[in-house]
Amino acid sequence: MEALKGVRILDMTHVQAGPTCSQLLAWMGADVIKFENPAGDATRGQLRDVPNADSLYFTMLNCNKRSITVNMKNPEGKAVFVDLLKKCDIIMENFGPGVLDRFGFTWEKIHEINPKIVMGSIKGFGSSGPYADFKAYENVAQAMGGAMSTTGVPDGPPFVTGAQIGDSGTGLHLAIGLLAALRQAEQSGQGQYVEVAMMDGVMNLCRVKFRDHQRLTRGDLPEYSVPTYKGMGDVPRAGNDSGGGQLGNAIHCKPHGANDWLYIVVQEAVWDALAKRIGPEVHIPDLATDARFSTIGERRKHQQLMWTLINKFAENYTKRELMAILNPLDVPCGPIMSTEDLATDEHVRGRDMWVELDHPQRGKWYNVGMPIKLSASPAKIERSPTLGEHTDEVLKEVLGLSDADIASKRTAGAFSLPPKKK
Ligand SMILES: CC(C)(COP(=O)(O)OP(=O)(O)OC[C@H]1O[C@@H](n2cnc3c(N)ncnc32)[C@H](O)[C@@H]1OP(=O)(O)O)[C@@H](O)C(=O)NCCC(=O)NCCS
């Protein structure tokens, strides 16, 4: 049985942050009803690669959901919303600040309608504080949560990371909060409001940088390859430094193209074996006993030279060859994998992390698979719904409406937007 079988979610989320969360919950077996503006989630039409087909932006974030369109600005539409609220365990949204309140549905009102329902909200900055009224997108959250100021090299601009820590990262945080609140609701009969601010989520993911922020009040950061000093205040951008207790960096390999790099962690325990292997080829046969590298403290002091030597060794090998040399020595390392590398990787395919799907509008396409593997209920990945594909099905199955009821609500404009005034 699927882990979340029987859990019904009224999913008002759009774009990326919320849909990431509801897709994961759908993959764990929840019945996720994507409650869409009749105009559709804006991402259906964004970055389209196939004319008139739902974009990959949408399809990759909305698998295993049912789509129903309801106009929340129409009284009949609102009545359908209220009826669905009564039949769901979770409601979730990531509208801009105040949108749901303007529809007339504050958390207090929703709680009154269904005291057991758990409500999840994502906002850029939460519902309190000076930033509460602001909208946010991924890179705004990366900028304001500490990620950008600590990513890049010191004399270059701050960088965003390709991993969507602001959107998808916040979706993950929300999923954890919703499951905890659901468990509590099952025991107490009372739902609660679960709020995750994107800025807070990014700060949480930058936790180690705030560790370093406080260490700087006492001294420099010897593991950083860039200059740091006591009291400098801001944690600097440190390129590809490991950011942990062990030294690490990206090493450029043959044939020195954009992704011909191997990330290597020079773990304390492996230095001896690593030094014995590379020493002779970089003309320092006694590297393993060289005083400049004899302890981790010494290696931190002389890390620029250490990385130069390892880079010199790497000149003769591709990233895969270097990996094959280092793995038997137990050196933690990994090639920088391009999207193409990953899409064709045997390990990735074997773990169902690049999944082929079919879609009525776009034909064959791929989604990144479910990264959380439950042994008793593995995810079965199914395509995303077309806009409003399940409107009638949900109204009949969940609300018990008849064809005549549905037709009357449809005529009243519950499921569509009024024509634009000319
Ligand atoms: C992402 C974001 C910036 C997009 O802004 P936006 O496109 O202006 O969308 P909003 O959420 O503010 O507004 C949605 C609009 O659709 C309307 N709408 C949504 N669902 C509707 C429905 N079922 N029926 C009728 N109207 C609907 C809302 O009423 C609102 O219009 P209004 O402002 O006239 O009331 C904003 O939603 C946001 O800040 N969200 C929170 C943070 C977040 O999740 N960001 C990451 C997204 S990946």
What is the 136 CA–ligand 1 centroid distance (Å)? 11
Cα(159) to centroid of ligand 1, in Å? 27
Pocket-testing residue among 95, 102, 420, ligand 1, by greatest number of atoms within 8 A of Cβ: 95
Instruction: Give the residue whose CA is nearest to atom 8 of ligand 1.
Output: 96
Query: How far does Cα 238 stand from its chain's mean position?
Result: 23
10 Å Cβ neighbour count for 139?
15
State the pTM of this model: 0.96
Tell me the pLDDT of the chain (422 aa) as tens digits.
899 999 999 999 999 999 999 999 999 999 999 999 999 999 999 999 999 999 999 999 999 999 999 999 999 999 999 999 999 999 999 999 999 999 999 999 999 999 999 999 999 999 999 999 999 999 999 999 999 999 999 999 999 999 999 999 999 999 999 999 999 999 999 999 999 999 999 999 999 999 999 999 999 999 999 999 999 999 999 999 998 999 999 999 999 999 999 999 999 999 999 999 999 999 999 999 999 999 999 999 999 999 999 999 999 999 999 999 999 999 999 999 999 999 999 999 999 999 999 999 999 999 999 999 999 999 999 999 999 999 999 999 999 999 999 999 999 999 999 888 76
> Three-class SS of residue 195?
strand
Nearest protein CA to atom 46 of ligand 1, as residue: 137
Q: What is the mean pLDDT of the chain?
A: 97
Q: Supply 115's token pair.
A: 């005291």
Sign of CA dihedral 101, 9, 96, 47: negative
Q: Tell me, in angstroms, the distance from the centre of ligand 1 to residue 93's CA.
A: 9
Predicted confidence (pLDDT) per residue in 28-58, tens digit:
999 999 999 999 999 999 999 999 999 999 9
Alpha helices (runs of H) in 49-151, residue ranges in sequence order: 56-59, 75-87, 99-102, 107-113, 138-144
Q: Are strands 118-123 and 31-36 parallel, antiparallel or unpaired?
A: unpaired
Helix (H, G, I), strand (E, B) or coil at 194: strand
Expressed in angstroms and rounded, the spacing between residue 102 Cα and the centre of ligand 1 is 11
Active-site residue 167, yes or no?
yes
Residues having CB closer than 6 A to ligand 1 are 15-17, 37, 70-73, 94-96, 99, 102, 122-124, 135-137, 167
